[in-house]
Chains A and B, each alone.
Chain A
Amino acid sequence: SYELTQPPSVSVSPGQTARITCSGDALPKQYVYWYQQKPGQAPVLVTYKDTERPSGIPERLSGSRSGTTVTLTISGVQAEDEADYYCQSADSSGTHVVFGGGTKLTVL
């Protein structure tokens, strides 16, 4: 089955830039979406269609892509950004939803 690969963890100090990657063979053909999930809460959509940001999401969160890898960048990381982040896309047919394994962002 189709998989999206994320690093299990990323650690940064406050004010630094965090980059979380997501890779998958079908990514060049499909949009990528990122979700933020804090403990005990439902996921929140933070970027959609690779680079768009829903209203209310801080500008310091941004999405980009290069070939088969997409990246969620969090600039000027704050303590409140500590969370699990999941990428999501579709398989090559565009029919089925796929989630990455998640990345735990730790703010040191």
Chain B
Amino acid sequence: QITLKESGPTLVEPTQTLTLTCTFSGFSLSTSGVGVGWIRQPPGKALEWLALIYWNDDKRYSPSLRSSLTITKDTSKNQVVLTMTNMDPVDTATYYCAHTYDFFALHFDYWGQGTLVTVSS
């Protein structure tokens, strides 16, 4: 049974760096083809993909946010960490992490419950 759970601060001040952790179970990030991605959703708005990391440490980033994002994995802890620098109120959103299993078919079959991050002073 695959589960994922996001954790991190609920409130971040503008210009600060956000660090979110995805802790998962039911799969290993050392298995060929497996990856974990991050997706966010501002209140009342659409989903937006942020980043993705694969078992082989292949990292993908949204072209529009690439300069502010870093994704890393700790296979031994079953965790994936996303950092986002220079946070702005427009980055207020629910942040989801999600599982993918097919390196050649980009999609997410299991999602965490999401964590709401508010950017405000």
Q: Contact string, A82-108, partner B, CB cutoff 8 A, digits 1/0? A: 000010111000111111111000000
Identify which of residues 65-97 in chain B touch chain A, using a CB-to-CB cut-off of 8 Å: 96
Identify which of residues 12-41 in chain B touch chain A, using a CB-to-CB cut-off of 8 Å: 37, 39
In the assembled complex, the Cα of A101 lies from the Cα of B47 at a distance in Å of 7
In the assembled complex, the Cα of A77 lies from the Cα of B62 at a distance in Å of 35
Q: Are B63 and A96 in contact (CB under 8 A)?
A: yes
Q: Are A99 and B48 in contact (CB under 8 A)?
A: yes
Q: How far is the CB of A97 from chain B (nearest CB, A)?
A: 4
Question: Known interface pairs A1-B63, A1-B64, A43-B111. Does A99 touch B47 (Cβ–Cβ under 8 Å)?
Answer: yes
* Neighbouring A residues of B111 by C-beta, 8 Å: 42-44
In the assembled complex, the Cα of A48 lies from the Cα of B102 at a distance in Å of 11
* Neighbouring A residues of B109 by C-beta, 8 Å: 45, 48, 54
In the assembled complex, the Cα of A88 lies from the Cα of B46 at a distance in Å of 11
Q: Is B56 an interface residue (CB 8 A)?
A: no
User: Which secondary structure dominates chain A's binding surface?
Assistant: strand
In the assembled complex, the Cα of A99 lies from the Cα of B112 at a distance in Å of 18
* Neighbouring A residues of B62 by C-beta, 8 Å: 96-97
In the assembled complex, the Cα of A28 lies from the Cα of B63 at a distance in Å of 22
Q: Is A49 an interface residue (CB 8 A)?
A: yes
In the assembled complex, the Cα of A90 lies from the Cα of B63 at a distance in Å of 12
Q: Are A97 and B37 in contact (CB under 8 A)?
A: yes
Q: Is B55 an interface residue (CB 8 A)?
A: no
Q: Contact string, B46-60, partner A, CB cutoff 8 A, digits 1/0? A: 111100100000001
B-binding residues in A (CB < 8 A): 1, 31, 33, 35, 37, 42-45, 48-49, 54, 86, 88-90, 94-102
| In the A-B complex, the 3 residue pairs with the closest CB atoms | A97-B49, A33-B107, A42-B111
Q: Can you offer 5 A-B residue contacts whose CB atoms are under 8 A?
A: A42-B111, A54-B109, A97-B106, A98-B49, A99-B47
